[in-house]
Structure 1
Amino acid sequence: MPDSDDTATTPAPLDLPGPGDWLAWVTQRCEDQLAEAERQVGLVKAGSSDAPVVLLAWNKAETALANAEAVSLWAEVHPDAGVRDRADELSQRVHKYVTELGLDRDLYAVFAALTPDGLDDDGRRVLDHTLRDFRRAGVDRDEATRDRLRELSEQGVKLSQDFGRNIRDDVRSIRVAPERLAGLPDDYREAHAPDADGLVTITTDYPDLVPFITFSADAQARHELALAQNTVAWPANDQVLQDLLAVRRETAALLGHDSWPDYDTEVKMIGSGQAVADFIDRVGEAARERAGEELAVLLERKRVDDPSADSVATYDSRYYSELVRREQYDVDGQVVRTYFPFEQVREGLLEVTGRLFGLEWIPVPREDAGTWHDEVASYDVRLDGVRIGRIHLDLHPRDGKFKHAAQFDLVRGVAGEQLPEGVLVCNFARGLMEHDEVVTLFHEFGHLVHHVLGGQTPWVRFSGVATEWDFVEAPSQMLEEWAWDADVLATFARNSEGETIPRELVAAMHRAEQFGKGLYAMQQMSYAARSYWFHARQHDDLTAFGDELQSRYSVFPPLEGAHMHCAFGHLDGYSSGYYTYMWSLVIAKDLFSAFDRDDLFAPEVATAYRDKVLAMGGRKDAADLVADFLGRPYSFDSWTAWLAE
C-alpha cells in the first residue's frame, strides 16, 4: 500500500529532531506529556460516575505518562552527555508525579466508586488493575506512611539512575603484549593494533570481551579481563546497591509485606517470594548432576594444558567449552563466525521475522527518521500493507551508551492514537558475530516484535510487552530457536566467499549446543539466587554473600577480588526477579513444542501464536495466553526434556 494511503489510516511516527536541538526537544516532549497527563487527571477527578467516561480520560492520562516516562531512553542512548543528564532529571520528575498519583486519595475515590456497568472485558480489567495499583502504591495507608512512601520512591529513582550510570560510564580495560592475543581470530587481532607503547588495549565492552574470553589461549589474560569485567562500578555501586535494597525493604514493609520479593511477586505469574526460592532450588537440583558431568569434561580438557589443574574458573569455562566443542563435536567457533557478518545477520533477521509473522520492514531514510546517531537504522513495520509501527536498531557500542542488550519503549502503541515505536539497544561488533551473539540478537528482537504487535490495543496499559514481568522473556527465548535452524540460517549465513553455512556444520552446532546446559542452568541459578536473596534479607557484605551463593548454586568457584553485583544491571530493573529468565525459558520450550521443527514457518501455527500471544499484549493473564495458544496449561515437560537431551 502506498505511503499516502498508509498515513491516511494510521497515526504518524514520532517526529524526532535528527540534527536539531535534542536538549530542547527532549525537555519539551516530556513537559508537554506531563502537562497533558495532568489535564486528563483533572478530567478524571471532575466527578463523573460513568465508568467508560472516567476510564477513557484515565487511558489518555496513562498514555501521556507513558510518553513522558520514555524520556529515560535518552539517558541510556543519546551521545550527548548533557541530554543524558537532562533525561535523568526529567525522569525523576515523571516518577515523582506518578508516585503522587498513586497516593492521591481523591483520585482513588473516583475509581473505587465506579461500577463495571457498561464496560467490556478489557475495560473491567483496566478498572481491576487500576484499583490494584492504588493499593500497591499505599493509597489506603495513613498520612505519615504515605509521606514516607513518597520519600522512598524518590530515593529509589535516584539510586536506580546512579546504579545504571555507574555501570554505563565505567568501561575498564587491560593492556597486553600483542603475542598475548594468541588464539584470537585474525580480524580481532587486526582490529587491536599495538599502541605507541607496543601494547594492545582490551576493554570490557562486549565486542572486545566476548571473543577474548572465548578464544584467548592466555589464561592469565583471561583472568585479568574477567576481573576487570567483574569490578566494573566497584566500589561506587556497592553502597548504591545497599541503599537501593534498603529502600525496597522498607517500602515492602510499609505496604504490609514480609519482604520485597513477596511484594514484587504479588503481580507475577509465580505468585510469591517463597515460590521463587523453591523454583531456584528446583532448577538447581534438576541440573546439578548434568552440570557436574560437564564440569568434569572441562577439567579433563584443562589438564591437557595444565596437568596440575584441580578446578575450572569462571573465566576458563567459555574458553574450554569452546575447545571441547571444537575437539569433540567438530565445531570451531572461529569458523562458525565467518558465516555471520553483522550486516548480513541484521538483514537476515528482518527477513526471517517478516516471513514468520507476516510483517514487512521498510527502511526509513535517516533524514526522515530523525535518529540520534548515524549508526541507528530505522524501519517502518507493516502488516497486510498497513503501517503498524516503527523500530530503531541501535546495535553498536559507544561511550556513554547502555552496556548490555535490551528493548526500550519510545512510544507505546494506542490504536488510532499513536503508533508503537521501539528501540533495540545492543553492543555488537561491526564485523563478524559469534553465533551466541546472533542468538542474542534474535532474542532481543523478539521483544521488539512483541512491542509492535501488542501495540494495536486502545488501552495503553495493555500495550506491547505488558504481560506479567516473569513472562516477558518467553516470546524472545522462543524466537532464539529460529537462529538454530539449518534452513533458516541458510537464508542469510554466508562467508566472504558467498558460501552458505553447511547443514552438517549446523547439525554439529546443535550437538555441541547440548554440552553445557547443566552448567548454564546452575550458573543462571546463582544469578537468580543473588537477585532473590539480596532482596529477601539484609546482608552487610554483598561480595561475601554473593560468593557464598556462587559456591552454593554454581559449579564454578567465586572469582577472588570480583564484585560482580556492582555491574549486575538486572538487580535494578528486575530487582528480585532474575529467576524470570529461567522461568520464561520453561514456558518458551512449551510454546515451541507447538511448532513443526521441519517447517518453522508453517503459517497456521505462526499466525495463531502471533495473534493469540504477541498481539494480545497484556489483555489477558500470561497463563491464559499460553493456554489459548497451546490448548492446555503450560508445563515443565518440554523444558525437562530439553535439559535431558
Structure 2
Amino acid sequence: MTNPLLSNWDTPFQIPPFDQITDRDFAPAFEQALTETRANIDAITADTNVPDFANTIEALERADALLNRVLAVFYGVSGADSNETREALMREFSPKLAAFTSEIYMNADLFARIEEIWHARETLDLTEEQHRLLFVTHRGFVRAGAQLQGDERDRLKEIKQRLAVLGTQFTQNLLADEREWFMELSEADLEGLPDFVLESARSAGEEKGKDGPVVTLSRSLIVPFLQFSPRRDLREKAFEAWTARGANGGETDNRDLANETLALREERAKLLGYGSFSSYKLETEMAKTPEAVRDLLMQVWSPAVAQANADADKMTAMMREDGMNGELEPWDWHYYAEKRRKAEHDLDESALKPYLQLDRMLEAGFTCANRLFGLEFEPVNVPLYHPDCRAWNVTKDGRHMAVFVGDYFARGSKRSGAWCTTMRSQQKLEGEIRPIVLNVCNFSKPPKGKPALLSYDDARTLFHEFGHALHQMLSDVTYESLSGTSVARDFVELPSQLYEHWLEVPEVLAEFATHCDTGEAMPQDMLKRLLDAATFDQGFATVEYVASAMVDLDFHSGPAPKDAMERQAELLAEMGMPRAIRMRHATPHFAHVFAGDGYSSGYYSYMWSEVMDADAFEVFKENGVFDPATAKSLEDNILSVGGTREADQLYSAFRGRMPGVEALLKGRGLDKVA
C-alpha cells in the first residue's frame, strides 16, 4: 500500500491526510525521506559546475523538502497527542536525526562549495534576501562544526546524538509524571471550589477513569484549585506534586539528565571555540552576550522582589486573620492572592470566567487580526489528528493565506504548556506555498454541551500563541529557512507578546466578553476593575519568571555544575529569592531548556521581547490601537519579513529606534516600586 506520508496530498489546502496516516507509516516514511535527502545532497556535491547560489544554496533549500514534511507531521502530532508507539519512535528518530544533521553539516565537499560562494558573495548579483540566506547558511555550517577535523569532529557528532537522546527522554519523563499523578477529591474536599473548578475536576476524573473529581497536574486545573481551595493540606499536596515533576526518583527522574546535558553543552561550546555555552548560543541573538542578558534581568529583579515582599506581608496578615500562624508558604500564595484580588479590586474569578468563553475569545482574536491586517477566518471541515482540533481557512482580500488549526484542551497525551508550530511553512521557492499553522493549548475541557470557559491568563495565552500564528500566516519571503518565526530567539516572542495587548483593549472586551448563559456583555464596572487589576500580583509573576531565567543563564554561562539542583539552590539564595515563591520552572521540569536546545540559555527571551512589545504598543496607543498605517508598518517591517534581516534592524525599521526597559517596568507596574 502507498504510504500516505510519501504520496501527493490531494486534500483541501494539501493538508496532511490524517484520516489515512497511521503510526506504522512514520518509520518507513522517515527512512525514505533520509534516503532522498542524502541523494539530493550527493547530487549537489557531485555537480561539476562552478558552485553558485542556485546550484548549491537554493538546491540545499530544496534537498530536505520530504524530510521536513514527514517530520512536521510526526512531531506536530507527537507533541499534542502522544502514545507509546509515538514515544518509541521519538526515541528512535532523535539520535538518527542528530547523526544525519551532523552528516550534512560536516560534509566537507558541501561546505567547500558554500565557502567558495561565501568568499565570492560581493561579486554575485544577489538580492538582499539571498545575501541573508547565504549568510545564515554559512554561519549555520560553521557553528555546527563544519571546520572541525579528526577526533574533534567525531566527538561533536557523538555529543549531538547524545543530547538528542537526553532531550527526548527529558520530555517523555516529564509527560509521564504529568500523566500519572492525580489527587482524588472526596465530597469534603470540594469546599470552596467554584462550579467551573468542580466541572473541570469531574471532567479530569472521567478522563482518568474515576467516578469522582480529581486534580491533575494540568496548569489549567491545578492553579484554580490552589486559588480557591481553603484546604491548606490539599493545596500543599497538589503544589508539591506539581513542582516535583521530573524529580520523583525512579525511571522518570530528570536530574541526572539535566546534569549530563549541561556538561555536554559546555563541551560542545568549547570544541567550537567558545568560552561557554551561553557565549555560543547568544552569538546569534539580539542580546549577543551573557552580560547583556544578566543586566536586563537584574534591572527587573530588584523592583520585582520588593513588590513581591510587600505583597507577601499583606497576605501574611490575611493568614493571621484566618487564625493561621507560621510563614506564608508557596502553596498559600495563589489562595491568598485570589482573596487579595477580590478584596482590593472586587474581582472574583468565578464571576469573571463566565464572560471569557473560548469561542468568543477566538472571535476576538480573529476580529482584531481582521481590523489590523485584513485577515478573514472561515471554519473548514477537514480530517485532523484529534477530535478536539478545529481548522479555519485564512484569507486576505480573497487570497488564501494559511490554514489555521487550533487544539485547545488538556489531555493526558498532550505535553504541558502552550505552543505554536507549523505543519508546512511559507515559501515561494517552489511556487506560492502557504503555511499550515497549529496552536496548541491546555485549557480545561468543559462537560459535554457546555462552553469552555477561560481564566484571564488563559485568554492571554490564547492571544499570545495566536500572535505567533500571525507571524507565520503573514510571512511573505522566498526561502523557507527565513520564513515566519525563523528569527532570533529573543525576537520571536515580540509578535506574540505584542498581540496580547489587544486583549486589554476595552472595546475588544466590551464586544466579546459576553456571559455564557445570558449573552450579556461584561458589566462596565467589572471591565474597569479587570483592566485596573492588570498589574496585580506582578511582583510574584516577575520573580518566578526571572528566577528561572537567571538559573538558566547561570547554568550555561560558566563551568557546567556537577549538581544542577545544588547550584540552583545556591543561586536563588544569592539572589534573595522570596521564600514563598518557587521558580516558575525548576530544573527537573524546565522543558524550555532541557527538552532541546531551543530556549537553552534563552529563557530570558520572553523578557527581552517584552521590552520591545511594551514599547511597540505605545505606538498603537499614540496612533490608535487599530490604526491602519501603524498596523501596515508592523506587517511590512516585522510580521511579513521573517528573518530576512537582523532583528534590531527589523525593530528599528518599525519603531525608528531601539527601546529601553522603562516601558516594561511600567507595563508590569514596577516602575514606582522603591
TM-score, normalized by the shorter chain, greater than 0.5: yes
Q: Distance in 2 between matches of 1:197 and 1:364?
A: 35
Instruction: Name the amino acid aligned to 1:26.
Output: F
What is the SS of the residue equivalent to 1:229? helix
Question: Contact between 1:465 and 1:617, CA under 8 Å: does it hold in 2?
Answer: yes
Q: Check whether the contact 1:314–1:557 (CA below 8 A) recurs between aligned residues.
A: yes
2:537 to 486, 510, 516: 516
Matched to 1:182, the amino acid is: E
Residue in structure 2 matching 1:93, options 96, 106, 131? 96
Letter in 1 for 2:329: A
**Cα separation, partners in 2 of 1:58 and 1:352, compared to 1, 3 Å:** same
Q: How does 1:258-277 map to 2 (within 5 A)?
A: 258-277=275-294
Which residue is 1:408 aligned to?
421
Q: Is the 8 A contact 2:94 2:165 kept in 1?
A: no
Within 2, Cα distance between the matches of 1:441 and 1:388?
A: 20
How many angstroms apart in 1 are the aligned matches of 2:267 and 2:599?
18
Question: 1:425 aligned to 432, 435, 440, which one?
Answer: 440
Q: Distance in 2 between matches of 1:600 and 1:54?
A: 45
RMSD, aligned CA: 2.6
Displacement of 1:636: 2.2
Shift of 1:292: 2.8
Query: 1:644 is paired with a residue of what secondary structure?
Result: coil
2: CA distance between counterparts of 1:66 and 1:19? 20
**Are residues 256 and 406 of structure 1, via their aligned partners in 2, closer, same or farther at CA, if it must alter by over 3 Å?**
same
Aligned residue runs from structure 1 range 183-582, under 5 A: 183-192=192-201, 200-234=213-247, 235=249, 236-310=253-327, 312-365=328-381, 369-415=382-428, 416-430=431-445, 431-454=452-475, 456-495=476-515, 496-536=517-557, 537-553=559-575, 555-557=577-579, 564-572=586-594, 573-582=598-607
Aligned partners of 2:330 and 2:582 also within 8 Å: no
Q: Displacement of 1:199 after TM fit?
A: 6.8
Percent identity between the two aligned chains: 27
Q: CA deviation at 1:24?
A: 4.2
Code of the residue aligned with 2:578 in structure 1: it is F
**CA apart distance, 1:28:** 5.2
* Aligned match for 1:634, one of 628, 646, 659: 659
Paired with 1:43 and 1:26, the residues of 2 have a C-alpha distance of 26
- Quote the Cα distance in structure 2 between the aligned partners of 1:265 and 1:111: 24
User: What letter matches 1:605 in structure 2?
Assistant: T
Shift of 1:151: 0.5
TM-superposed deviation, 1:323: 1.3
Long gaps (5+) in structure 1: 1-10
Within 2, Cα distance between the matches of 1:426 and 1:492?
Answer: 20
Q: Which among 178, 187, 191 is matched to residue 187 of structure 2?
A: 178
What residue number does 2:626 align with? 601
Distance 1:87-1:355 versus aligned 2 partners, 3 A rule: farther
1:67 corresponds to: 69
Contact 1:103 1:139 in 2 (8 A): yes
Cα separation, 2, equivalents of 1:326 and 1:489: 20
Q: Residue type of the partner of 1:484?
A: E
Q: Secondary structure at the match of 1:426?
A: strand
Structure 2 residue corresponding to 1:52, chosen from 26, 51, 54 = 54
Moved more, 176-185 or 584-593: 176-185
The alpha-carbon distance between structure 1 residues 347 and 79, as it changes in their structure 2 partners (threshold 3 A), is: farther
Conserved 8 A contact 1:363-1:378: yes
CA distance in 1, matches of 2:370, 2:575: 40
8 A contact 1:178–1:200 mirrored in 2: no
Partner of 1:123: 130
Q: Judging changes above 3 Å, is the alpha-carbon distance between structure 1 residues 494 and 560 closer, same or farther for their aligned structure 2 residues?
A: closer
- 1:429, distance to aligned residue in structure 2 (A): 1.4
Equivalenced residues, count: 631
- TM (normalized to structure 1)? 0.92
Which of 630-639 and 24-33 deviates more?
24-33
The runs of at least 4 consecutive aligned structure 1 residues that moved more than 6 Å come to 194-199, 558-563
Q: CA deviation at 1:37?
A: 2.8
Deviation at 1:212, TM superposition (A): 0.6
- Distance in 2 (CA, whole Å) between partners of 1:32 and 1:348 is 43
Secondary structure at the residue paired with 1:425? Answer: strand
SS of structure 1 residue aligned to 2:404: strand
Contact 2:497–2:609 (8 Å) recurs in 1 = yes
Cα separation, 2, equivalents of 1:41 and 1:393? 36
- Alignment check: 8 A CA contact 1:409 1:421 kept: yes
Q: Is the 8 A contact 1:337 1:435 kept in 2?
A: yes
Q: Is the 8 A contact 1:570 1:578 kept in 2?
A: yes
Using the TM superposition, name which of 414-423 and 256-265 deviates more: 414-423
CA 285–64 in structure 1, closer or farther in 2 if over 3 Å, else same: farther
TM-score normalised by structure 2 residue count: 0.88
Structure 1 147/402 Cα, relative in aligned 2: closer, same or farther at 3 Å?
Answer: same
- Aligned residue for 1:163? 170
Distance 1:341 1:243, change over 3 A: same
CA contact (8 A) 1:29 1:68 kept: yes
Change (3 A) 1:198 1:270: same
Matched, 1:133 2:149: no
Deviation for aligned residue 1:560: 9.9
Alpha-carbon spacing, 1:385–1:197, altered in 2? closer, same or farther (3 Å): closer
Contact kept, 8 Å, 2:95 with 2:165, in 1: the verdict is yes
For residue 379 of structure 1, give the secondary structure of its aligned residue in structure 2.
strand
Alpha-carbon separation, structure 2, partners of 1:545 and 1:56: 46
